[in-house]
Amino acid sequence: MKIIGIKDNYHTQGINLSETNLKAEIIADSALTRSGKPVFLPDFACRWSLHPTLVLRIGRLGKHIAPRFAHRYIDAVAAGFTLQATDGPECGILSSIDGAAMVGDFTPVTDTALLSTATVGIADNRGLHDVPFSAEALIIKPLELITRLSAIFTLKMGDLIFCSQAPSGVEPCIGYDITASLCGTENLKIRFR
C-alpha cells in the first residue's frame, strides 16, 4: 500500500496554479492514523496546523489508466487531515512524522459526482471552524489525478491518495478531540495527546 500526498493542488484567493504542474510525494505508512486513534504531538515544534483534505482509496490494480476508465479505480472516499509543524527546526518533515496523515471511515463511491462535489468540514472542542475543504476547488480533479499518477507508477488496491490540503487549517491542542465531516456527516475523529 502506498500513501500518496498531492501538494499545491488547491485554488487560493482566486489564483490558479498551473494545471500541468503535479506535485506528489510518497508518505511513510507509519504516518497513517485511522479514525478513533490518538495522535501524539511531537515535542520538536511548539505549534502545529491541521488541514482537511479528501482521501481517495484505490480499488484495483492499474497502470497508464485512460481518463474514461479512471472512475473504475476509486472505490471509496474519506475525510482526512494532514498535520504540519508551523515552527521549529523540523518544519520541512511534514508528511512522514507518525500520525501526520489521518483518515476517516471510507464511504463507497456509487456516484462519481461525489468526487467533484465532496466537502470536508472541521469541528473541535471550540466548535465549528470555517476552514472547509471542497473538491470543487481542486486544480487537478480526482479522476485526472488517477490518470496522471498511473502514468508515473502502478496504482495498487488499497493505495490512498490525499488530494491536497485546504490552505488554511486549525491549531490542534493536547486534549482536544477534532472531528471531520464528509459532506455533512461525521467521518473522522481524532484525539490529540
| Residue 77's CATH number | 3.90.850.10
Residue 142 near residue 121, CB atoms below 8 Å: no
pLDDT at 14: 53
C-alpha cell at 117: 462535489
C-alpha cell at 57: 482509496
Domain with 132 in it? 3-192
| Cα 134–chain centre separation | 11
**Within a 13 Å sphere around the CA of 77, how many CA atoms are in the beta-carbon half?**
24
Total structural domains in the chain? 1
Share of residues in the chain with pLDDT > 70 (%): 92
CB neighbour list of residue 192: distance below 8 Å, 6 or more residues apart: 38, 39, 40, 41, 172, 173, 174, 175, 176, 177, 178
How confident is the model over 126-142, as pLDDT tens digits? 877 777 899 999 999 99
Q: CA 73, CA 56: separation in Å to the nearest integer?
A: 10
For residue 165, the model assigns a pLDDT of: 82
Predicted local distance difference test score (pLDDT) of residue 88: 66
Look at residue 52 in the predicted model and tell me its pLDDT: 92
**Which cell is 185 given?**
456527516
pLDDT, mean of residues 38-47: 84
Q: What pLDDT, on the 0 to 100 scale, is given for residue 93?
A: 54
